[in-house]
Amino acid sequence: MAVIDADGHVMGRLSSKVAERILKGEEIIIVNAERAIITGKREMVFAEYKQKKDRGKIMRGPFYPRRADLILKKSVKGMIPFKTPSGREAYKRLKVYVGIPKEYSSAKLEKVEVAIRPRTDKYVRLGDVSGYLGSKVR
């Protein structure tokens, strides 16, 4: 079991590395999901995520999450073969949290080196995006 701190990590790169690891059978816990980074201009990122959220119909979907932990989890879900039994089993080995829960506060937090450094100064925190979408959990 690995506990990964998402603070300062680029969301897409972190998601791809986590997807590789859960497909290999490792159990992954991601904490501080609201501090992950999405690269791009602020207005463009907000417009993209608002469009994703507004795409669904009220009763039928597709539904897009507002909370930061669920957005990150959905990002990982898109990188695994979720429609196969092995993909569903892998997805069950992933847990994502906003902040650090008490049971993981004493655990050694891991960093994913390839996902840490953004190559640009234009980025938005995932917590800001979820707040813009209307999430009350930050």
How do the domains of the chain map onto residue ranges? 2-133
Residue 85 has a pLDDT of 96
Q: Are 76 and 19 in contact (CB under 8 A)?
A: yes
Q: Are 72 and 6 in contact (CB under 8 A)?
A: yes
**Helix, strand, coil abundance in the chain, percent, nearest 5:** 45, 15, 40
How many helices and strands in the chain, by DSSP H and E? 6, 6
Residue 56 has a pLDDT of 79
The stretches in the chain having pLDDT less than 50 are none
Residue 58 has a pLDDT of 77
CB atoms within 10 A of CB 103: 10
Residue 35 has a pLDDT of 94
Instruction: Respond yes or no on whether the N-terminal peptide bond of residue 62 is cis (omega within 30° of 0).
Output: yes
Residue 45 has a pLDDT of 95
| Alpha carbons within 13 A on the beta-carbon side of 77 | 15
2-133 maps to which CATH number? 3.90.1180.10
pTM confidence score = 0.90
Q: Which amino acid is at 78?
A: G
Residue 138 has a pLDDT of 64
